[in-house]
């Protein structure tokens, strides 16, 4: 594939949904193969109570109004990054805003368009009798078992998961993976900034300055990642070392004004692109493949997983219609 050329600076005035694809800058690794007034309520997913309010973080403030495409906006960050290799990305489309849209308590309402998990997802294993058991976040999900995604503060989010497994877990929760364009639209908050918290990087706000567990356990990767394979990249010990994955919401300032936490850093987050795209970076890198919310890795297929891959879910909102 041919390298994508640098974009002219004039294109930075594109809207935040002007998107580019990217590829992983890390060395290659082995792949694993929605006469009186009558109110009609549409069905609400059974797993959570709908709410128009953002739980917790009641003092969240809307970001400053920025000129479209100006420095510090998500559109600027996207246009400023030239991926080393062009890879196709199925962006999806932003849903239309719906009057009266509401989301479950564990999700944020994004512009009345769709709902996004407040926190990166963890898993529970679902038994045939309906009981559930928390699944260890550092253990690769077993293809023979059934899992449901949950979004909860203070829980270590699931890593070592593929895009296909993440999609299935979201589906079991009556949710879905976010489309790439939905993910980016939500990440920068209402002002669509480069980072969830603002226009410029601030050290320590998000979990993006961790320590390399691969170097700690497999120092030979200093020669290049070609010397290790899927087994090493999925070693459950990796994300148990200090300076790696943090509990959901642990970095309290890594939040946007929608109330969504940890969209930059901590774990890569799978999106619904069937070609294989995860976004936001992880605890070691939030800049090689684009800064902050523009970060995108499109070098792996949907079945890939390693110690850095996680996810969160989106969903279509419930709507209350008032008819005369």
Q: Which domains does the chain have, with CATH numbers?
A: 13-324 (3.90.1580)
Global pTM reads 0.78
Would you give per-residue pLDDT tens digits along the chain (324 residues)?
A: 434 333 333 333 333 333 333 334 343 333 333 333 333 333 334 444 433 344 444 345 555 567 766 677 766 566 666 566 677 899 999 999 999 999 999 999 999 999 999 999 999 999 999 999 999 999 999 999 999 999 999 999 999 999 999 999 999 999 999 999 999 999 999 999 999 999 999 999 999 999 999 999 999 999 998 999 999 999 999 999 999 999 999 999 999 999 999 999 999 999 999 999 999 999 999 999 999 999 999 989 999 999 999 999 999 999 975 443
Task: Give the pLDDT of residue 272.
Answer: 98
Q: What is the pLDDT of residue 26?
A: 40
d(CA 168, CA 135): 15
Give the separation between CA 216 and CA 9, rounded to whole angstroms: 41
Q: Report CA-CA distances (Å) from 308 to 93, 198, 275.
A: 27, 24, 18
Contact between 132 and 146 (Cβ < 8 Å): no
Residue with tokens 């901590």: 266
The predicted pLDDT at position 16 comes to 34
Helix ranges, 154-240 (H): 163-172, 180-187, 213-217, 230-233
The C-alpha atoms of residue 201 and residue 43 are separated, in whole angstroms, by 41
- Is residue 185 helix, strand or coil? helix
In sequence order, what are the beta bridge partners of 198? Answer: 195
Q: Choose among 190, 197, 182, 201: nearest CA to 65.
A: 190
Q: Is the dihedral of CA 114, 117, 120, 124 positive or negative?
A: negative
- The terminus-to-terminus CA distance of the chain in angstroms comes to 57
Q: Are 81 and 22 in contact (CB under 8 A)?
A: yes
Which pLDDT does position 245 carry in this prediction? 98
């Amino acid at each position: 594939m041919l390298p994508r050329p640098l974009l002219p600076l004039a294109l930075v005035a594109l809207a935040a949904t002007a998107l580019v694809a990217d590829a992983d800058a890390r060395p290659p690794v082995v792949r694993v193969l929605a006469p009186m007034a009558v109110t009609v309520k549409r069905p609400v997913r059974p797993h959570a109570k709908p709410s128009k309010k953002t739980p917790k973080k009641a003092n969240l403030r809307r970001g400053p109004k920025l000129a479209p495409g100006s420095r510090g906006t998500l559109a600027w960050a996207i246009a400023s990054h030239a991926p080393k290799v062009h890879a196709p990305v199925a962006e999806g489309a932003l849903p239309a805003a719906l009057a009266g849209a509401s989301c479950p308590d564990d999700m944020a309402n994004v512009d009345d368009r769709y709902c996004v998990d407040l926190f990166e997802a963890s898993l529970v294993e679902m038994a045939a009798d309906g009981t559930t058991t928390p699944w260890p976040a550092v253990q690769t999900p077993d293809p023979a078992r059934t899992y449901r995604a949950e979004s909860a503060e203070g829980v270590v989010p699931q890593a070592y998961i593929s895009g296909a497994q993440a999609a299935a877990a979201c589906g079991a929760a009556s949710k879905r993976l976010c489309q790439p364009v939905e993910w980016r639209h939500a990440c920068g908050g209402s002002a669509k900034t480069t980072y969830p918290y603002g226009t410029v990087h601030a050290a320590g706000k998000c979990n993006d300055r961790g320590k390399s567990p691969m170097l700690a356990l497999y120092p030979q990767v200093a020669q290049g990642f070609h010397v290790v394979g899927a087994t090493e990249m999925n070693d459950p010990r990796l994300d148990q070392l200090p300076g790696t994955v943090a509990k959901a919401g642990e970095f309290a300032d890594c939040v946007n004004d929608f109330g969504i936490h940890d969209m930059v850093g901590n774990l890569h987050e799978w999106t619904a692109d069937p070609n294989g795209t995860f976004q936001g970076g992880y605890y070691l890198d939030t800049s090689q493949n684009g800064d902050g919310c523009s970060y995108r890795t499109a070098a792996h297929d949907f079945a890939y997983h390693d110690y850095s891959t996680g996810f969160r879910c989106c969903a279509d909102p419930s709507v209350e219609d008032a008819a005369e």
